[in-house]
């Protein structure tokens, strides 16, 4: 009996330690999590201090356990983003990108600020985080000098896991990696802001409407691209369709991510409109609705022999709701090592 009590005491102590590592306090059933800092493993000691300072964190905060600090290695990057671990890591590959993650109360939305990232933007990262199921967080991604930013996602995801104690699904992380690659590729043709908005809008429609086949996904992509008045190359369009097919297979719950998706999408639209970009209102599902009404009208004519005037057919009274391009951009998302720029680009696992 005494032995069982001792085991129970040890188990409770372990639980308290786990909670202390992730949670600061609970108030009104809202858990407040610690900030999580991820630091590139190849940063010098001085650069790590610089990153902490940029994030507004002191060494005392770290020593007092007010924040959680983890290092991100090239191996972490590979594992976090489900990359091919059979290939050797280039000797000159380094992990530089760092991040600060603060999990926010439900309904807050996603906010990502970046500094010294030359290819990956805050909107790209925000999109990818929502794909991973992260809906409410304040994030900063930074480096001591200019880097591509392709490794930033891995550190952010690992920081979220460290803060919450919850592991994110690998398949979502893999799609998020591809989402950033696809958006970066589209950005070469239409600009980063439009590319992020197009991906976000198409994803929202796919998650919301759950198209049953690739043809329906193609329609959504075509409509979205048309709304932003851009023309994609065939291979770019196909890459976007492939990405949306991957998103569809994740079976994301629209209700869970609706608020964050809409906030992000609307914010990107507002920024584009302020910049003078004309965006058409989506008419894709209105067209489907008209087709459904037309079909119902045809059935009435066929079986009842009655023709209804436009706008007065029985359908109007019913409440009817219509219902990868390969390995991370030629491995550039894995490792790009020009002049000490970060090469790693995506994995995750507990690093010590």
pLDDT of residue 89: 86
Residues 152 and 206 in one domain: no
pLDDT of residue 212: 92
Residues 75 and 176 in one domain: no
| Among 18-32, 103-117, 153-167, the least confident range | 18-32
| Among 171-175, 192-196, 235-239, 330-334, the least confident range | 330-334
Question: What would the mean pLDDT of 257-285 be, rounded to a whole number?
Answer: 82
- Of 160 and 326, the structure prediction assigns the larger pLDDT to 160
Mark which of 123, 146, 168 sits at the end of a domain.
Answer: 168
CB-facing half-sphere around the CA of 219: CA atoms within 13 A: 14
| Strands 67-72 vs 35-40: parallel, antiparallel or unpaired | parallel
pLDDT tier for residue 299 given thresholds of 50, 70 and 90: low
pLDDT exceeds 90 at position 96: yes
pLDDT exceeds 80 at position 28: no
pLDDT of residue 280: 80
Residues 204 and 266 in one domain: yes
pLDDT exceeds 60 at position 94: yes
Question: What would the mean pLDDT of 266-282 be, rounded to a whole number?
Answer: 83
Residues 231 and 288 in one domain: yes
Residues 138 and 219 in one domain: no
Residues 187 and 294 in one domain: yes
Total of domains in the chain: 2
- Of 283 and 27, the structure prediction assigns the larger pLDDT to 283
Cα 17 versus chain centre, distance: 30
Length of the chain counted residue by residue: 352
How many DSSP H helices and E strands does the chain contain?
13, 7
d(CA 142, CA 124): 15
Residues 83 and 211 in one domain: no
Residues 72 and 150 in one domain: yes
d(CA 349, CA 167): 9
pLDDT exceeds 80 at position 140: yes
316 assigned to some structural domain: no
330 assigned to some structural domain: no
222 assigned to some structural domain: yes
**Domain membership of residue 106 as a residue range:** 31-168
Q: What percent of the chain is predicted at pLDDT more than 90? A: 59
79 assigned to some structural domain: yes
Which tokens is 250 given? Answer: 């994740």
Residues 51 and 160 in one domain: yes
Closest to 81 (Cα-Cα) out of 165, 207, 179? 179
| Among 1-5, 282-286, 328-332, the least confident range | 328-332
18 assigned to some structural domain: no
pLDDT averaged over the chain?
79
Residues 148 and 177 in one domain: no
79, 167, 171, 217, 343 from 350: Cα distances, Å: 10, 10, 18, 36, 19
Write the DSSP string, 280-342: PPP-HHHHHHHHHHHHHHHHHHHHH---PPTT-SGGGGS-------SSHHHHTTT---STT--
Question: What would the mean pLDDT of 278-306 be, rounded to a whole number?
Answer: 60
158 assigned to some structural domain: yes
d(CA 22, CA 34): 6
pLDDT exceeds 70 at position 307: no
Residues 139 and 161 in one domain: yes
pLDDT exceeds 60 at position 68: yes
| Strands 110-114 vs 137-142: parallel, antiparallel or unpaired | parallel
pLDDT of residue 124: 97
pLDDT exceeds 80 at position 303: no
| Strands 137-142 vs 98-103: parallel, antiparallel or unpaired | antiparallel
Question: What would the mean pLDDT of 312-329 be, rounded to a whole number?
Answer: 34
235 assigned to some structural domain: yes
pLDDT of residue 335: 36
| Among 40-54, 300-314, 316-330, the least confident range | 316-330
Sheet holding 98-103, edge to edge: 67-72, 35-40, 98-103, 137-142, 110-114
Closest to 150 (Cα-Cα) out of 77, 86, 199, 242? 77
pLDDT exceeds 50 at position 169: yes
Question: What would the mean pLDDT of 256-282 be, rounded to a whole number?
Answer: 87
pLDDT of residue 278: 79
pLDDT exceeds 80 at position 11: no
Residues 37 and 148 in one domain: yes
90, 131, 168, 282 from 260: Cα distances, Å: 37, 11, 17, 19
Residues 6+ apart with CB under 8 A from 229: 277, 278, 279, 280
């Amino acid at each position: 009996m005494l032995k069982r009590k001792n085991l129970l005491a040890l188990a409770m102590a372990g639980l308290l330690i786990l909670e202390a590592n992730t949670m600061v306090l609970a108030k009104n059933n809202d858990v407040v999590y610690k900030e999580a800092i991820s630091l590139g493993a190849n940063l010098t000691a001085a650069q790590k201090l610089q990153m902490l300072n940029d994030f507004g964190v002191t060494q005392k905060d770290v020593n007092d356990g007010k924040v959680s600090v983890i290092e991100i290695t090239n191996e972490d990057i590979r594992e976090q983003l489900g990359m091919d671990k059979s290939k050797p890591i280039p000797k000159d590959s380094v992990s530089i990108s760092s991040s600060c993650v603060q999990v926010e109360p439900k309904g807050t939305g996603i906010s990502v600020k970046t500094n010294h990232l030359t290819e990956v933007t805050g909107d790209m990262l925000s999109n990818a985080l929502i794909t991973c199921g992260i809906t409410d967080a304040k994030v900063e991604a930074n480096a001591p000098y200019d880097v591509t930013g392709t490794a930033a996602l891995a550190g952010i995801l690992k920081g979220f896991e460290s803060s919450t104690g919850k592991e994110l699904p690998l398949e979502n992380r893999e799609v998020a990696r591809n989402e950033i690659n696809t958006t970066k590729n589209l950005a070469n043709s239409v600009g980063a802001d439009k590319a992020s908005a197009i991906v976000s809008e198409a994803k929202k429609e796919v998650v919301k409407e759950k198209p049953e086949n690739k043809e329906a996904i193609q329609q959504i992509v075509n409509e979205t691209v048309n709304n932003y008045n851009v023309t994609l190359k065939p291979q770019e369009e196909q890459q976007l369709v492939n990405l949306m097919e991957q998103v569809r297979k994740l079976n994301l719950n629209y209700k869970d991510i609706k608020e964050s998706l809409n906030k992000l999408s609307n914010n990107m639209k507002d920024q584009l409109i302020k910049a003078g970009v004309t965006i058409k209102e989506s008419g894709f599902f209105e067209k489907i609705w008209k087709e459904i009404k037309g079909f119902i009208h045809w059935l009435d004519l066929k079986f009842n022999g009655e023709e209804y005037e436009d706008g007065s057919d029985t359908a109007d009274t019913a409440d009817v709701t219509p219902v990868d391009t390969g390995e991370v951009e030629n491995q550039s998302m894995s490792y790009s090592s020009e002049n000490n720029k970060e090469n790693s680009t995506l994995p995750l696992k507990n690093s010590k």
